[in-house]
Chains A and B, each alone.
Chain A
Amino acid sequence: MRRIISVLLENEPGALSRVVGLFSQRNYNIETLTVAPTEDETLSRLTVTTTGPDRVIEQITKQLNKLVEVVKLVDLTEGPHIERELMLIKLKATGSQRAEIKRTVDIFRGQIVDVTSSVYTVQLAGPSDKLDGFVQAIGASGVLEVVRSGISGIARGEKVLSL
């Protein structure tokens, strides 16, 4: 099963490489990884999505916790949570395609954020499967370039991951 692990990490040089190194060193799988400083600039928040049997997931969280620079972590998939991914996608948009694309973007609640005579650049945020759905709806032949941020997640309700 896919898991989303959210980590509070000391915002120090080298800390990220320890996390990434751990995954390759122990043969764990990384599907997406996002990281940025938090409102407290001494901390970074890192979200990693991974898959594996329960035993491996348990090891991943334990091994991450063992890293000296990891302050706290939570497996968001253990409870109700919100996950979002941002996609910027460049689409071929000429002639009648333009209206068609505009409609699809609206259906998916995206925004066209840049326009040329032959290209639309669309921004879309949401759960990853919604982003997949959009790409599918457009069809491979219309897609020029895709950038996805990887998943960011947060627990629902009162629960917070903080110091």
Chain B
Amino acid sequence: MELLSGADMLIRSLQDQGIEYIYGYPGGAALHIYDALFRQDEVKHILVRHEQAAVHMADGYARATGMPGTVLVTSGPGATNTITGIATAFMDSIPMVVLCGQVASTLIGEDAFQETDMMGVSRPVVKHNLSVRHPSEIPEIIRKAYYIASTGRPGPVVVDIPKDMTAPNERFEYAYPKKVKLRSYNPAIRGHAGQIKKAVDMMLAARRPVIYAGGGVILGKASGQLTELVRKLGYPITNTLMGIGCYPASDKQHLGWLGMHGTYEANMAMHHSDLILAVGARFDDRVTNATEKFCPGARIIHIDIDPASISKTIDADVPIVGPVDAVLKEMLALVKESKEKPDAEAIASWWKQIDEWRAFHGMRYETSPDVIKPQEVVEMLHRLTNGDAFVTSDVGQHQMFAAQYYKFDKPNRWINSGGLGTMGFGLPAAMGIKLTHPDDEVLCITGEGSIQMNIQELSTCNQYKLPVKIINLNNQALGMVKQWQDMNYESRHSHSYMESLPDFIKLAEAYGHVGIRIDKKEDLEPKLKEALAMKDRLVFVDIQVDRFEHVYPMQVARGCMKDMWLSKTERV
């Protein structure tokens, strides 16, 4: 057997795990590891400008590919800088492994230079964390970390590595474990057959059914099964912000997404339904509105890999714990062989009702002859990229407009921080995607507030030639905050202005990129085309959009699903 130092074992384990890219930032406690990295070229390291961005890069990669991302940072500030990124991944169940240097085990607890209790600090925002207590454990710990991160309900795993565990002078036998077994961790591999049968019977008997799909469908790689089942049944489907793309948005059975800024027809259909099939969704408060008023006439079937997601906020009548792809496959087989068929008449009249809701208020906004509306920018981008780009976003009005008006037909293309709502996510996430998808269009639709939270990464983009397109919907305000202040605080705009904005064009140029400013409506299309035509350049497109626009529909706070503002003046 080969003898390797802890640091070399760590890097070899990454190689054997098939890791191609890691994102990180060096420092004292991680230097043995960085030296091991230097002496090989299989695992490529991307040097970011802030550790938070390394985590979002790994996250963007994971969301686009379904594979776990990998981060490497040093102890203390390096580790604490990753926390927002880890929490972001945790809330959206994104698989990743974060390797953190730590002070030598002999110094732990002595307030040594750059010592932080990363196990303690990260504990509430990780799926699990592991600490290395002997160098020889490294291969097994790395194997475990990836296994835990990417199975069951995925999530981030932190590995804390004291510096002496990676010392170059001590060598140990290296073998990468082929399998891991954890007696205390056994994610479900299939759903309960009886429950599935019961669910299918209820589905076939439903008169006003809705399928409500979430991010779990995308994480569980079950879009194919879901689409087939929904088409077979002919029922309406809506999805959450995280589920965007799990079913083609251009299909007529798709009602758009639901919840706080969901479509009128999706929220109406949910409220009036008699049966909800929830798939890989978690009845989040941004979806349900007031839980006690949630969908009064609906019985609920809930499929999720995580039993704790079921009946957490809304009680399920038929809970099914299992991987969504396997459960949907079984459902589909049962639907196909069942003698019962959906009640054609009931379903037709349900569709008639839904079509009326659609006709009453589809997604729409007021256009203006001279002011650029953020929604029209997104619609135009959709057209110019044939609806086939990877779109990352930050948090705010621009995020909602991007999700509402870019119609995604494929999963893994809409990449946003839905659960934590992390401003600063968009650019690094786009970078992580572009790195591994060089031939695909990668757009970061952002706002002038959010982009400045990780703007330093323009430098990383220059170093690694990452030609993402930054679409800055510049409304000169923390627009979403301002919207809430308009609606709930009599327009007292407390600290929601972005005064003294930088000249984004010069800033982009200073980092070696191209900047394009668009402030006239007639320039919008030609300049967007010009930006998209520059395939190998990062283009920062700063678009001056309507400063007073609000996102609609918007559910009325503490109401039920169907209580919505449809514009500044219409409330239903």
Residues of A at the B interface (CB closer than 8 Å) are 10, 13-14, 17-18, 21, 25, 55, 58-59, 62-63, 65-66, 68-71, 163
Contact of B308 among A10, A18, A66 (CB under 8 A): A66
Known: A62-B307, A68-B128. 5 other contacts (CB 8 A): A14-B119, A17-B120, A21-B123, A25-B124, A59-B308
What chain B residues lie within 8 Å of A71 (beta carbons)? 183-184
> 1/0 contact trace for B109-122 toward A, CB 8 Å?
00000000001100
Is the Cβ of A69 less than 8 Å from the Cβ of B124? no
Is the Cβ of B183 less than 8 Å from the Cβ of A17? no
A-B contact pairs, 17 of them (CB 8 A): A10-B184, A13-B131, A14-B123, A14-B129, A17-B123, A18-B123, A21-B124, A25-B124, A59-B308, A59-B312, A62-B307, A65-B308, A66-B306, A66-B308, A68-B182, A68-B184, A69-B184
Q: Which of A14, A21, A163 has the most CB of B within 10 A?
A: A14
- In the bound assembly, the distance between CA atoms of A21 and B306 in angstroms comes to 20
Closest to B133 in A: A13
- In the bound assembly, the distance between CA atoms of A136 and B121 in angstroms comes to 43
What chain B residues lie within 8 Å of A65 (beta carbons)? 307-308
- In the bound assembly, the distance between CA atoms of A63 and B184 in angstroms comes to 14
> 1/0 contact trace for B266-303 toward A, CB 8 Å?
00000000000000000000000000000000000000
Contact of A70 among B127, B148, B184 (CB under 8 A): B184
What chain A residues lie within 8 Å of B184 (beta carbons)? 10, 68-71
Main secondary structure of the interface of A (DSSP, over half): helix
Is the Cβ of B185 less than 8 Å from the Cβ of A68? yes
B117 to chain A, nearest CB (A): 10
What chain A residues lie within 8 Å of B315 (beta carbons)? 55
- In the bound assembly, the distance between CA atoms of A83 and B37 in angstroms comes to 55
What chain A residues lie within 8 Å of B307 (beta carbons)? 62, 65-66
Give the number of A-B contacts (CB < 8 Å).
36
Closest to A63 in B: B308
Cβ of B311 under 8 Å from chain A: yes
What chain A residues lie within 8 Å of B129 (beta carbons)? 14
Is the Cβ of A62 less than 8 Å from the Cβ of B308? yes
What chain A residues lie within 8 Å of B128 (beta carbons)? 68
What chain A residues lie within 8 Å of B185 (beta carbons)? 68
B317 to chain A, nearest CB (A): 15
Closest to B308 in A: A62
- In the bound assembly, the distance between CA atoms of A59 and B312 in angstroms comes to 7
What chain A residues lie within 8 Å of B312 (beta carbons)? 59
What chain A residues lie within 8 Å of B131 (beta carbons)? 13-14
- In the bound assembly, the distance between CA atoms of A10 and B119 in angstroms comes to 17
A54 to chain B, nearest CB (A): 10
A75 to chain B, nearest CB (A): 14
- In the bound assembly, the distance between CA atoms of A55 and B123 in angstroms comes to 24
- In the bound assembly, the distance between CA atoms of A116 and B123 in angstroms comes to 48
- In the bound assembly, the distance between CA atoms of A21 and B183 in angstroms comes to 22
Known interface pairs A18-B123, A68-B128, A68-B148. Does A163 touch B183 (Cβ–Cβ under 8 Å)?
A: yes
- In the bound assembly, the distance between CA atoms of A71 and B185 in angstroms comes to 7
What chain A residues lie within 8 Å of B120 (beta carbons)? 17
- In the bound assembly, the distance between CA atoms of A38 and B312 in angstroms comes to 32
Closest to B152 in A: A66
> 1/0 contact trace for B5-16 toward A, CB 8 Å?
000000000000
- In the bound assembly, the distance between CA atoms of A151 and B555 in angstroms comes to 47
- In the bound assembly, the distance between CA atoms of A63 and B127 in angstroms comes to 11
B60 to chain A, nearest CB (A): 26
Q: For residues 437 through 487 of chain B, which have their beta carbon under 8 Å from a beta carbon of chain A?
A: none
A69 to chain B, nearest CB (A): 6
B28 to chain A, nearest CB (A): 24
- In the bound assembly, the distance between CA atoms of A31 and B279 in angstroms comes to 36
What chain A residues lie within 8 Å of B124 (beta carbons)? 21, 25
What chain A residues lie within 8 Å of B127 (beta carbons)? 68
B244 to chain A, nearest CB (A): 26
A60 to chain B, nearest CB (A): 10
What chain B residues lie within 8 Å of A21 (beta carbons)? 123-124
Closest to A69 in B: B184
What chain B residues lie within 8 Å of A14 (beta carbons)? 119, 123, 129, 131
- In the bound assembly, the distance between CA atoms of A133 and B58 in angstroms comes to 59
- In the bound assembly, the distance between CA atoms of A95 and B40 in angstroms comes to 83
- In the bound assembly, the distance between CA atoms of A59 and B131 in angstroms comes to 28
A117 to chain B, nearest CB (A): 44
Is the Cβ of B306 less than 8 Å from the Cβ of A55? no
What chain B residues lie within 8 Å of A63 (beta carbons)? 308
- In the bound assembly, the distance between CA atoms of A70 and B186 in angstroms comes to 11
- In the bound assembly, the distance between CA atoms of A18 and B311 in angstroms comes to 23
- In the bound assembly, the distance between CA atoms of A66 and B119 in angstroms comes to 18
Closest to A21 in B: B123
- In the bound assembly, the distance between CA atoms of A69 and B148 in angstroms comes to 12
A118 to chain B, nearest CB (A): 42
- In the bound assembly, the distance between CA atoms of A10 and B148 in angstroms comes to 16
Is the Cβ of B311 less than 8 Å from the Cβ of A55? yes
B294 to chain A, nearest CB (A): 14
> 1/0 contact trace for B163-200 toward A, CB 8 Å?
00000000000000000001111000000000000000
What chain B residues lie within 8 Å of A17 (beta carbons)? 120, 123
- In the bound assembly, the distance between CA atoms of A63 and B311 in angstroms comes to 12
Q: For residues 180 through 233 of chain B, which have their beta carbon under 8 Å from a beta carbon of chain A?
A: 182-185
Q: Which of B120, B131, B308 has the most CB of A within 10 A?
A: B308
What chain A residues lie within 8 Å of B308 (beta carbons)? 59, 62-63, 65-66
What chain B residues lie within 8 Å of A68 (beta carbons)? 127-128, 148, 182, 184-185
B152 to chain A, nearest CB (A): 9
Closest to B131 in A: A14
Contact of B311 among A10, A58, A163 (CB under 8 A): A58
Q: Which of B184, B307, B312 has the most CB of A within 10 A?
A: B184
- In the bound assembly, the distance between CA atoms of A10 and B130 in angstroms comes to 13
